Amino acid sequence: MGTYDYKNVKVEIRDGIAWVILNRPEKRNAMSPKLHFEMDDALERLEFDDEAKVIVITGAGGNFSAGQDLKEFFRELDTNPSARRKAAQAANRWRWERLYNYDKPTIAMIHGYCVGGAFMQLLATDFAVAAEDATFSLSEVNWGILPGALVAKVVADAVLPRHALYYACLGEPFDGKEAARIGMVNFAVPLAKLEQATTELAHKLMKKSPNTLRATKQAVRHVRNMDFGQAYDYLMEKSKAIKLGDREDSYNTGLRQFLDEKSYKPTYEPFRLRGDKAGASAEKK
């Protein structure tokens, strides 16, 4: 494992989970240009760090993030267009290009405040788990600005139009239970169980074949913008591609464990990977 030595971001890798923590608790993890540069670097490196199997994005000090730093990202760069552009590029790169296309599964873990620009990373991750008492707010309308970068787009993509319009136009806060009800997060749990629930989800993901999981998430994301003919063709070719690069030989291993060994039911559980103890002993049979 390399060292991830940053000031505004903390990275802790434990049992295959990389906890990537926005670390400006005294500013409610508002995202300054420096934080964006560090997050961009950390995510680039973690994608190739074999110890990191699942990425969890969260915030230090009991909050997810209060959005873009209104002082350091906005006001101080209003008169410095090239510095603003550089910061905006890094901000969009990690919050969108990297996370949306990430090779590994990603989870947002939301507690405390999740405001404005923080919806970008919330919705670019593959999964999100919230504390029931978290506070979400698309506050931009209250500042006289738009949910910019890609916030309006990711919100419109994630939830039904009425919910998107309601919360973007009113800027009203909502809690984790409401976020789950409208589809902004997968589920909400009491704060005391948040880390445990996130860890359980990460462990479930780690039991899948990484290759199949990667292709599945890419497929689900990409077919949204295709018509039926394009989606059919793309999925057929993608299916061939995952077989080619599949080190677990998922298809044949799954068939063998289900049909021959009768040791697994795909409806309820993943097949055993070669690295698993159970999988390794099955391989020897």
- 45 CB-side CA count, 13 A: 16
Q: How far is CA 191 from CA 132, 133, 180, in A?
A: 7, 7, 14
**Residue 177 CB: number of other CB atoms within 10 A?**
16
59 is an interface residue for ligand COA by CB under 6 A:
no
- Confirm if 94 and 242 have CB atoms less than 8 A apart: no
36 is an interface residue for ligand COA by CB under 6 A:
no
Shortest separation between residue 265's beta carbon and ligand COA, angstroms: 46
70 is an interface residue for ligand COA by CB under 6 A:
yes
Report the C-alpha gap between 68 and 150 in whole angstroms.
13
8 is an interface residue for ligand COA by CB under 6 A:
no
Query: Do you know the residue count of the chain?
Result: 285
Q: Residue 9 or residue 30: which is nearer to ligand COA going by CB?
A: 30
Shortest separation between residue 106's beta carbon and ligand COA, angstroms: 22
Shortest separation between residue 177's beta carbon and ligand COA, angstroms: 19
Report the C-alpha gap between 50 and 176 in whole angstroms.
32
Element containing residue 176 per DSSP (H, E): helix 176-181
Q: Please identify, among the stretches 67-75, 82-90, 122-130, 246-254, the one whose residues bind ligand COA according to the rule CB under 6 A.
A: 67-75
Shortest separation between residue 151's beta carbon and ligand COA, angstroms: 8
66 is an interface residue for ligand COA by CB under 6 A:
yes
Report the C-alpha gap between 187 and 178 in whole angstroms.
10
Q: Please identify, among the stretches 15-23, 114-122, 156-164, 238-246, the one whose residues bind ligand COA according to the rule CB under 6 A.
A: 114-122
Residue of 33, 59, 67, 270 interacting with ligand COA (CB under 6 A)? 67
Instruction: Report the residue number whose CB is nearest to ligand COA.
Output: 116
Report the C-alpha gap between 158 and 179 in whole angstroms.
11
Residue of 7, 12, 71, 83 interacting with ligand COA (CB under 6 A)? 71
Shortest separation between residue 100's beta carbon and ligand COA, angstroms: 20
207 is an interface residue for ligand COA by CB under 6 A:
no
Shortest separation between residue 170's beta carbon and ligand COA, angstroms: 14
Q: How many residues bind ligand COA (CB under 6 A)?
A: 15
**Residue 3 CB: number of other CB atoms within 10 A?**
6
113 is an interface residue for ligand COA by CB under 6 A:
yes
- Confirm if 52 and 46 have CB atoms less than 8 A apart: yes
Q: Residue 23 or residue 263: which is nearer to ligand COA going by CB?
A: 23
* Residue 126 CB-density burial (10 A; 0-12 exposed, 13-18 middle, 19+ buried): buried
Token pair 């462990």: residue:
203
Residue 247: both structure tokens together:
């080190």
Report the C-alpha gap between 90 and 32 in whole angstroms.
11
Residue of 27, 53, 104, 272 interacting with ligand COA (CB under 6 A)? 27
Interface of this chain with ligand COA, residues 127 to 146, rule: CB under 6 A: 139-140
Binding residues (CB under 6 A) for ligand COA: these are 27-28, 30, 66-71, 113, 115-117, 139-140
